[in-house]
Amino acid sequence: MSLESWKSQQFGQYLLDAERQLLARDCANLSGYRLMHLGLTGAGCALEPFAQLHQFYIRPSSGDLTFDCSSAVANYEDLPLPSDTLDVAIIQHALEYSESPQAVLSEAARVLAPGGHLILCVFNPLGPLGLVKWPMRLFTHRSEYDFFGLRKCRIHDWLSLLNCEVTEMQNGAYNLPVERKGWLEHGSLWERTCQKIGFPLGNFYMIHAVKRVAGGIRNTSTSWQPIAAKAYGTKRESINQSTTGSTE
């Protein structure tokens, strides 16, 4: 079963809806003009709550295009964008399903402008979905279980090397990955309790980071012509002359 088919399953819809609600609640008011989205989305336009005027998706193949929003096809490890141009970049499960998660994260940081916001939605390897991944991969060939298990501390280390400061980390979607509607209810007592205590073992975690670029020492002179130095003793002679003139 492909990821597109998994998104239409009950658990896939439940997990992506939980991420969409968390993004709309905590990230929709981020400032900026350009917003890029990489990875999976739920039903409809996932970027609708955001206020950026220029919003677009980038997909790895033409079969994954979202037709209700602007979309493009490109390799996540080599984005066709200039450096330091985006204000917000959302990576929604593009890291886990790529051959080189570090390269994808590095490209996203490259195209992000200084002070820009990087938002990552990643499957939690210690959550219910992450724990059932290994037995499901042994007995089935379903593509939704064929992902890298990326721990929070690992992503945090990668971001620090890319000059991205983690400002917030949250967890969500605590229900078991089963196709039973009664188990997959948003706002249940179990989910509200886990959210309130900050239980770290949800099916996904969301990281909000900001790109920090230090302003180094630079030469503000617009001319490359060297300034001629005064001869040694010039200042002493000028002081003596002014002193002599004042006494006279």
What CATH code is carried by the domain that includes residue 9? Answer: 3.40.50.150
Residues 6+ apart with CB under 8 A from 56: 35, 36, 37, 69, 70, 71, 72
Residue 234 lies in a domain: no
Residue 243 lies in a domain: no
Task: Check whether 186 has a pLDDT greater than 80.
Answer: no
Residue 244 lies in a domain: no
Q: What is the pLDDT of residue 220?
A: 45
Residue 247 lies in a domain: no
Task: Check whether 74 has a pLDDT greater than 80.
Answer: yes
Residue 223 lies in a domain: no
Residue 226 lies in a domain: no
Residue 228 lies in a domain: no
Residues 14-44 pLDDT 10s: 889 899 999 999 998 998 999 999 988 766 5
Q: Per mean pLDDT, which of 38-42, 52-56, 68-72 is the most reliable?
A: 52-56
What are the angstrom distances between the C-alpha of 145 and each of 11, 38, 59, 142, 212? 13, 19, 20, 6, 34
pTM of the model: 0.80
Residue 232 lies in a domain: no
Task: Check whether 6 has a pLDDT greater than 80.
Answer: no
Tally the domains of the chain.
1
Average pLDDT of 233-247? Answer: 49
| Weakest-pLDDT range from 16-30, 43-57, 110-124, 165-179 | 43-57
Task: Check whether 238 has a pLDDT greater than 70.
Answer: no
Give the integer Cα–Cα distance in Å for 204 and 226: 59
Task: Check whether 235 has a pLDDT greater than 90.
Answer: no
Q: Which structural domain, as residue segments, surrounds residue 132?
A: 3-215
